[in-house]
Amino acid sequence: MSAYTISIVSIIGINVILAVSLNMISGFCGQISLGHGAFFGAGAYAAALVMVGLANVPLALLAALLAGSALGIIVGFASLRVRSDFLAVTTIGVNFLFVGFVRKQTWLGGEMGISGIPPTGFGAPGNMVMILVLACATVAFSLYVNRSWMGFAFRAVGEDEQAATTLGIAANAYKLAAFGIGTALAGLAGGLYTFFTQFITVDAFDFIFSVMLMAMVVIGGIGSTWGVVAAAIGLTVLPEAIRFVNDYRLLVFGGMLVLVIRLAPGGLAALIRNLFVRARQA
Amino acid sequence: MGAGGPPAFCSASKDDAVYYIDLAVTGISFGCMYAMMSVGLTLVYGLLRILHVAHAAVFALGAYATVLAANATGSIALGFVAALIVTPLFGMAIYRLLYEPLLNYRPDVPMIASVGLLVLMQDAFRIVFGEQGVTFRRNAFSFRTFDIAGVTISAVQIAIVITAAIVFLGLHLFTTRTRIGVGWRATVSKPRIAASFGIDPIKVRYLNFAIGSALAAVAGGLVALLNNLVDPTIGFVVSYKALAIIVLGGLGSVRGTLVASLVLGLVEAYGTIFIGAWLDRDAIAFLALIILLMIRPQGFTGAHTA
CB-based contact B234:B285 (threshold 8 Å): no
pLDDT in tens, A119-176: 888 888 999 999 999 999 999 999 999 999 999 999 898 888 888 888 888 888 999 9
Q: Chain-centre distance of CA B126, in angstroms?
A: 21
CB contact under 8 A, A86 and B289: no
Burial of A214 (0-12, 13-18, 19+ CB in 10 A): buried
CB contact under 8 A, A261 and B120: no
pLDDT in tens, A256-271: 888 888 888 778 888 8
Residue B152's DSSP bridge partners are B147
Q: Which residues does chain A have within 8 Å of residue B124's beta carbon, measured at their own beta carbons?
A: 251
CB contact under 8 A, B297 and A34: no
CB contact under 8 A, A255 and B116: yes
- pLDDT, average across residues A28-51: 93
What is the predicted pLDDT for the residue at B302?
Answer: 52
Mean pLDDT across chain B: 83
Burial of B155 (0-12, 13-18, 19+ CB in 10 A): middle
What is the predicted pLDDT for the residue at B304?
Answer: 45
In b/e form, how buried is each residue of A14-39, taking b as 16+ CB within 10 angstroms?
A: bbbbbbbbbbbbbbbbbbbbbbbbbb
CA nearest to A107 within chain B: B278
Of B115, B244, B297, the CB nearest to A93: B244
Of A83, A100, A257, the CB nearest to B112: A257
pLDDT in tens, B225-283: 888 889 888 887 777 888 888 888 877 778 888 988 998 899 888 887 777 777 777 78
CA nearest to B107 within chain A: A85
pLDDT band at B300 (very low <50, low <70, confident <90, very high): low
CB contact under 8 A, B293 and A82: yes
Q: How many CB atoms lie within 10 A of CB B297?
A: 18
Which one of A85, A214, A222, A248 would you mutate to disrupt binding with B, by most B Cβ within 10 Å of its Cβ? Answer: A85
pLDDT band at B306 (very low <50, low <70, confident <90, very high): very low
pLDDT in tens, B42-92: 888 888 888 888 999 999 999 999 999 999 988 888 999 999 999 999 999
Give the 3-state DSSP-derived string for chain A, with helices as H, strands as E and coil as C: CCHHHHHHHHHHHHHHHHHHHHHHHHHHCCCCCCCHHHHHHHHHHHHHHHHHHHCCHHHHHHHHHHHHHHHHHHHHHHHHHCCHHHHHHHHHHHHHHHHHHHHCCHHHCHHHCECCCCCCCCHHHHHHHHHHHHHHHHHHHHHHHHHCHHHHHHHHHHHCHHHHHHCCCCHHHHHHHHHHHHHHHHHHHHHHHHHHHCCECHHHHCHHHHHHHHHHHHHHCCCCHHHHHHHHHHHHHHHHHCHHHHHCHHHHHHHHHHHHHHHCCCHHHHHHHHHHHHHHHC
**How far, in Å, CA of B62 to CA of B79, rounded?**
9
Q: How many CB atoms lie within 10 A of CB A81?
A: 15
- What is the DSSP secondary-structure string of B159-217? HHHHHHHHHHHHHHHHHHHSHHHHHHHHHHH-HHHHHHTT--HHHHHHHHHHHHHHHHH
pLDDT in tens, B183-242: 888 888 888 888 888 888 888 889 989 999 999 999 999 988 888 889 888 887 777 888
Of A94, A211, A255, the CB nearest to B115: A211
Q: How many CB atoms lie within 10 A of CB B195?
A: 15
pLDDT in tens, B141-156: 667 777 777 777 888 8
- pLDDT, average across residues B16-29: 84
